[in-house]
Amino acid sequence: MGKIELPKLPYSYDALEPYIDKQTMEIHYTKHHQGYVNNYNNAVTGTPLENKTLEEVFKEVSKHPAAVRNNGGGVWNHSLFWTIMKKNGGGIPSGKLADAINSAFGNFDEFKNKFTNAAATRFGSGWAWLIVQNGKLAVTSTPNQDNPIMDVAEQKGIPILGLDVWEHAYYLKYQNRRPEYIENWWNVVNWDEVASRFNSIK
């Protein structure tokens, strides 16, 4: 597939204000995400991985150098992250996704509590995820830039929602108050995109 390119941000840097501030969004996208793209390309150029998709690489990521795992994950995770947020997001999902959430967790609030807890208790840097495993939903988290597609993940599945809890995602606005960042983030979740990802899996 050749060189990975930074995907276009689907909204302006200030679109998710006041929950995610403009400066954080700009630095996160132009420095962090771009950095993962550049470093991944540097790590795979001239190797057999150059022509593989990220998903193919993740299935055997334990065999590859740390730069491939960390930067490849950084590329994929942020590419998902931007799409599952939008201006005037939030609320609760409907349709088949809502049914699947109720079936897996009891109700939306139980799901939200479980996901919030996974994000809040992930020690250090990492991500919280809503994943699809054999057609069923589950909540999990991963350290650093790992994700549940990777062979190294404790709990594997296909992520349809992810929350970045690295300090770079919230520190300028929230400093050490990760729980406040998580609580506010629910106001920008793009449930249409999450549902679309869910519906495309089965």
Q: Residue 32 is encoded by which pair of tokens?
A: 């962090």
Stretch touching Mn ion by CB under 5 A, among 6-14, 44-52, 65-73, 159-167: 159-167
Residue 40 or 111 having the CB closest to Mn ion: 40
Strand pairing partners for 132? 137, 158
Residue nearer to Mn ion on the CB measure, 125 or 133: 125
146 binds Mn ion (CB under 5 A): no
If the CB atoms of residues 76 and 166 are measured against Mn ion, the closer one turns out to be: 166
As measured in angstroms, the least distance from the Cβ of 172 to Mn ion is 13
Q: Number of residues in contact with Mn ion, rule: CB under 5 A?
A: 3
Main-chain phi, psi angles of 155, to 5 degrees: -125, 120
Site string for Mn ion, 29-68 (x = CB under 5 A): ----------------------------------------
For residues 193 and 202, give the distance between their C-alpha atoms in angstroms, rounded to a whole number.
16
Interface residue with Mn ion, options 97, 164, 170, 174 (CB under 5 A): 164
Q: Which is nearer to Mn ion, 82 or 166 (CB)?
A: 166
- CA distance linking residue 89 with residue 17, whole number of Å: 11
**Min separation Cβ 145 and Mn ion, Å:** 8
- Interface with Mn ion by CB under 5 A: which range of 14-22, 102-110, 121-129, 156-164? 156-164
Segment lying near Mn ion (by CB under 5 A), choices 52-60, 152-160, 162-170, 186-194? 162-170
Residues that bind Mn ion (CB under 5 A): 164, 166, 169
